[in-house]
Structure 1
Amino acid sequence: MIKQTIGELLEEKVVLDIEGIDRMYLNLYQPMLQTGGGVSTFFREEHRGAKVTSTALMSPMTKSFIHDIYSFAKQEGVDIVSFDKGQSKDEVTQRYLAKFSAQEGVLYIGKAQEKFNTFRTSKKFSTDTGQPFPWLRRGMVMCNQYYFYVVD
């Protein structure tokens, strides 16, 4: 009969055990903004005080966010790399890692045009009055996604 398991034998012999994460993705998730009603509430009541909900209200926020990304990159001397379709992000990252001498920081910011499921404004008509009103619906769009590649 075996007196020890393989795990027990190895436990006595292992001098160094290293576990690491090759990469980590951090995504922002706002539960309220996953439905048309939540987006409408955000723009009308919670945040912007708009009288009518429209995806046009997102444009100034998007432009400001992109401006802040470019300002950060310029201030910190970080490259913004526009990825071509099919380009290997890992190869780009390896090139930047080879040149990176700091212990931590932003390697570069990647920019890729990708399909994205977002809200769009369409027109619906009231069954009672026949009057048009804006309606938020989901739809696929091509838009730029920004990825911060960092070393920590």
Structure 2
Amino acid sequence: MTTVNDILKEHVTLDIECIDRLYLNGYIPKMQTGGQLVSFLWQRGYRIPSPAILGKLTQQYKSDVEQFAATHDIPIIHFERGVRKDDVVAEYRAAYQKAEGVVVIGVAQEKANGFKAKKRTQGKKVGFDYSRQSLFVNHYYFYIQDKDFGPAFIKVCTYAPYTVKVCLNGHEWAKQQCRQRGIAFESLDNGFLSCEDPEQLQAICDELGPTQIEHFFNKWQNLLPWRLTAADQQAGFRYRLSSVLSSVFLMGL
């Protein structure tokens, strides 16, 4: 009796195992508590850790992003609630001609676990206690074309503790590697239809790991408007990537 697997086997042209989409969180280990936030503001030169300072830093970052976009002729778009962001960005990606760069910057107001201050007075002294609460704040989506990873994006929260999210695609990384190595293939929207050297393609897929991901993240930290200055990082305020939110292994057809 013919089974479904038997029928599918006759139509398989390529069989590979490859990481599909990767969603990673980026956070600053030394900015997870109210006390650590105060230390961050202190090393920035703010001796009174007022929440007004956080607003000032957010506005400065907004100006930095807008200046970056103007300098590099990058469009900034505002996402309406409920829209599929990938669909909106698709037309910008289709028109993009450079080998590497920022295709478009999206802005969306979304929920974040940020710091909120409570004023505390003791005689003439005024202080602020910070706790983590759910807030709606702006996030910047930097949609990137990377020479090694192809299409990707980095989402940056504009408000402390400045979390980020990184989205990569293993299939797109493998396609870029094939192009660089001169290996011919037929592409699907999110995979491969065929490849002239399937064994080499599988070897390429197997190469993708933490080293390549860290290289991508470190490179774009230096290229994008960033929440941390060189002085911040020297003081120990650095990002760390953690927790893959979704990592799917797919078989090519």
TMscore range, shorter length: 0.7 to 0.9
Query: TM-score, normalization: structure 2?
Result: 0.46
Is 1:97 the counterpart of 2:96? The answer is: no
| Greater length-normalized contact order (CA 8 Å, ≥ 6 residues apart) | 2
**Please, which runs of 5 or more residues in structure 2 have no aligned partner?**
1-12, 147-253
CA distance in 2, matches of 1:96, 1:20: 25
- Report which stretch shifted further, 91-100 or 51-60: 51-60
Is 1:71 the counterpart of 2:67? The answer is: yes
**Please, which runs of 5 or more residues in structure 1 have no aligned partner?**
1-13
Query: TM-score, normalization: structure 1?
Result: 0.74
Find the residue that maps to 1:149 and give its secondary structure. Answer: strand
What whole-Å deviation, never above 9, does each CA across 1:102-149 have from its counterpart, x for those lacking one?
2221110010011111111113466xx7x7642112222211100100
> 1:148 is matched by which residue type in structure 2?
F
What percent identity do the matched residue pairs reach? 32
> 1:119 is matched by which residue type in structure 2?
F
RMSD: 2.6
Q: Where does residue 41 of structure 1 map in the other structure?
A: 39
How many equivalent pairs are there?
A: 134
Find the residue that maps to 2:27 and give its secondary structure. Answer: coil
> 2:139 is matched by which residue type in structure 1?
Q
Which structure has greater strand proportion?
2
Larger radius of gyration: 1
* Contact map agreement 1:110 1:146 (CA 8 A) in 2: yes
CA offset at residue 96 of structure 1?
A: 1.3
What whole-Å deviation, never above 9, does each CA across 1:46-98 have from its counterpart, x for those lacking one?
222x3322222112221111101111111111111100001111112221121
Q: Where does residue 111 of structure 1 map in the other structure?
A: 107
